[in-house]
Amino acid sequence: MKQPYALIIEDDPKLGIIFQTALQQAGYETDLDANGNQYRAFLDARRPDLVILDLHLPFAFGGDILDVIRDKYPDAMIAIVTADFIKAKTLTGKADHILVKPVSVIETCRISKRINMPKPFALIVEDDAQLSQIFTLALSDSFETEAITDGLSALARLAEVSPNLVVLDINLPGASGAEILSFIRANSDLNSTRVILATADSRQAETLQDKADIVLLKPVSIIQLRELAERLK
């Protein structure tokens, strides 16, 4: 069986070693571009199954490298590594995974095992644009995501698809989160759909907690949502 190949583009020497060691132990052949000035030669020589890409490099910007890789190898899996949360949000549609520094060996190994494995699907129903972006970023590492900002559109979408996970606000325009939750629980096609309620309304949350799998009171952190969503997969 052919070994998978990973290209690591990371200028932090310690992180570069961590990524190479973790991926080699997971069965990958690896190359390391430590400055952002060798990646084109590596890409010309071989198609990567996985790219670990730092955003801020001495000789290039990771966002530009991401565009080059997508043009050349559209189906390569790309994990962005950065401490720049704001910049990371702008790349969620292009990268397959966003790793916020500090990054652990466990996270790297988890991603490496997902080559050729389809991600579960998460539907985010949240009318606050900033929160919707945060939830998308939190889940994009492990889920294919789609965000909807109003209740009626969410009900229409749920009549078409069966998401593995729904992250659901309660107070929505068009139709309430309570109505959407009732629709999910009454629909046999959505029997396996898990629901995380995310709300600042503690009273309403209490009345709906028996129907939801998890209730989170806002503000919700990226780490908190990511960890809980992982448990529901």
The 10s digit of each residue's pLDDT in 145-174 is: 999 999 999 999 999 999 999 999 999 999
Q: Residue 78's beta-bridge partner residues?
A: 51
Domain identity same for 198 and 145: yes
Domain identity same for 19 and 79: yes
Contact 130, 110 (CB under 8 A): no
Q: Is the pLDDT of residue 21 over 80?
A: yes
Nearest residue to 185 (alpha-carbon basis) of 149, 210, 152, 150: 210
In our burial notation (b when 16+ CB lie closer than 10 A, e otherwise), range 184-202 reads beeeeebeebbbbbbbebe
Domain identity same for 132 and 190: yes
Nearest residue to 166 (alpha-carbon basis) of 202, 142, 198: 198
Domain identity same for 95 and 15: yes
Q: Is the pLDDT of residue 141 over 70?
A: yes
| Residues above pLDDT 70, as percent of the chain | 96
More confident residue, 75 or 166: 166
**Joined tokens for residue 81:** 């590594």
Domain identity same for 192 and 127: yes
The per-residue pLDDT for 1 is: 45
What are the two backbone dihedrals, phi and then psi, of residue 119, each rounded to the nearest 5 degrees? -80, 150
Tell me the pLDDT band of 2, cut-offs 50, 70 and 90: low
Domain identity same for 221 and 133: yes
Domain identity same for 49 and 102: yes
What are the two backbone dihedrals, phi and then psi, of residue 189, each rounded to the nearest 5 degrees? -70, -15
The per-residue pLDDT for 118 is: 61
Alpha helices by DSSP H, 46-176: 62-72, 85-89, 105-112, 129-139, 151-158
Domain identity same for 105 and 181: no
Contact 48, 76 (CB under 8 A): yes
The per-residue pLDDT for 83 is: 82
- Of 68, 95, 112, the residue that ends a domain is 112
95: CATH: 3.40.50.2300
Tally of CB atoms within 10 A around 233: 12
Pairing of strands 121-125, 144-148: parallel
Pairing of strands 194-199, 165-168: parallel
pLDDT tens digits, residue range 209-232?
889 999 988 888 778 888 888 887
Domain identity same for 95 and 134: no
Domain that holds residue 85: 5-112
Count of structural domains, the chain: 2
- Report, as an integer, the average pLDDT of 120-144: 90
- Of 77, 112, 147, the residue that ends a domain is 112
Domain identity same for 134 and 215: yes
- Report, as an integer, the average pLDDT of 69-78: 92
